[in-house]
Structure 1
Amino acid sequence: MTTVRTSELDVLGALLAFDFIGFAQKSATLDPTDPQYGQAVGAAFGLAARRRFPQGATAPEIGGYVAEFLGSLEAGAEDFDAAALERLVADGLSGGTAGGGEHLDPERTMQARLVLTLRWVRELGLGPDGQRELLAEALPAV
C-alpha cells in the first residue's frame, strides 16, 4: 500500500529535518501490525547504508562502527543490541540479502533503522535536497 510506504517516509523525513513533533505525530499513525510495516524505512536505510559504506564493509568493520555508534549515544544505547545492529547493517549493505537483519520486534527494527539512517545522513552531509533525493529513491524500491 503506497499510503503506508509514503507515511513511513514522511516519518523519516520529519526525523531528518529534526521536526520531532511532526515525527511523533506521524509515527503515531503507523501500524506496526501491518505486514508491510518498515519496508519503506528499510529501503531508505539500505540506500543510506550503501552510500555511507560505498565499498561495503567487513564484519569487523561493521562491529567497530556499531561499537562506536553505541558509544556515541548520550542516552538510549541500552535500547539496542550490538549483535542485532551489526546484522541489520550487514543486511542493509547487502540490499536485504544477508539474512538475520530483523530484530524480533518490528518496532525495534524500525527504531534502529531510523536512528542509523539519521546518523548516516548527517555523516554524509546530506542537506534537504539530498534527503529528499534519498526518500524519493526509497519509495520505488518497496
Structure 2
Amino acid sequence: MTTVTTTELDVLGALLAFDFIGFAQKSAALDPAGPRYGEAVGSAFGLAARRRFPRGASPEEIGAYVAGFLGSLEAGAEDFEPAVLEGLVAAGLAEDGGQGGGLTDPERTMQARLVLTLRWVRELGLGPDEQRELLEEAGRLTAV
C-alpha cells in the first residue's frame, strides 16, 4: 500500500538521485491539501539539519548559512525569503524534528525543505546507502 509518507519519501529519493523525471512524476501524486502533506519530508529535513549542524546553530550562524545558500543558487533565489528559510532551519534543528516553522503555503514549505535537504545531503557527502538510511529513518518517524 502506498502512503503519503512513502510517496513523499519517493519524491525526495528521486531528487537525491537526480532523477528529475521520476521526481516530477512522483511529485504529481502529492496532495498539498492533504492533512499529512509535508510530514515525511519535514522529518527527513529535520534529520538532515541535525546531521549538518550536529551541535546546533545560533541565529547568526543560520542567517549566514542561508545567505550563503541563497547566494550560491544560479536561479530561483528570489523564490525564497531569507527570514523564512532561517525559520525552517531553526525548526529543523529543534526538538520537533522539522515539523514547525512552516510557511502558510505548504507547497513553498515543501519546496524549501526539499532544496535544503538536497543541499545538506550533498554537503555531508551521503552516498546512496546513507541516503536510503535517512529516508528509512524519516519513514519510521512519520509512520502511523
TM-score of the superposition, structure 2-length normalised? 0.95
> Structure 1, unaligned stretches of length 5 or more?
none
CA RMSD of aligned residues (A): 1.6
Structure 2 equivalent of residue 27 of structure 1: 27
Matched with 1:121 is 121
Deviation at 1:36, TM superposition (A): 0.2
Off by >3 Å, runs of 4+ in structure 1: 97-100
Q: CA deviation at 1:71?
A: 0.2
| Distance apart, 1:111 and its partner CA | 0.1
Cα offsets for 1:12-32 (capped at 9, x unmatched): 000000000000000000000
Correspondence for 1:134: 134
| 1:96 shift after superposition | 2.6
Judging changes above 3 Å, is the alpha-carbon distance between structure 1 residues 5 and 117 closer, same or farther for their aligned structure 2 residues? same
Where does residue 63 of structure 1 map in the other structure? 63
**Hey, what's the Cα distance between the residues in 1 that align with 2:75 and 2:88?**
20
Q: 1:91 to 1:116 in 2, by over 3 A?
A: same
What code does the residue aligned with 1:114 have? L
Counterparts of 1:95 and 1:139, CA distance in 2 = 17
SS of structure 1 residue aligned to 2:114: helix
Aligned 1:1-142 pairs, distance under 5 A: 3-96=3-96, 101-142=101-142
Check whether the contact 2:45–2:98 (CA below 8 A) recurs between aligned residues: no
- The amino acid across from 2:60 in the alignment is P
* Whole-angstrom distance in 2 between the partners of 1:43 and 1:53: 15
TM-score scaled to structure 1, two decimals?
0.96
Q: How many residues align?
A: 142
Mark the runs of 5 or more structure 2 residues left unpaired by the alignment. none
Distance 2:97 2:114 in 1: 20
CA separation in 2, counterparts of 1:100 and 1:51?
18
Task: Report deviation, 1:95.
Answer: 3.0
Q: In 2, Cα distance between the equivalents of 1:23 and 1:97? A: 24
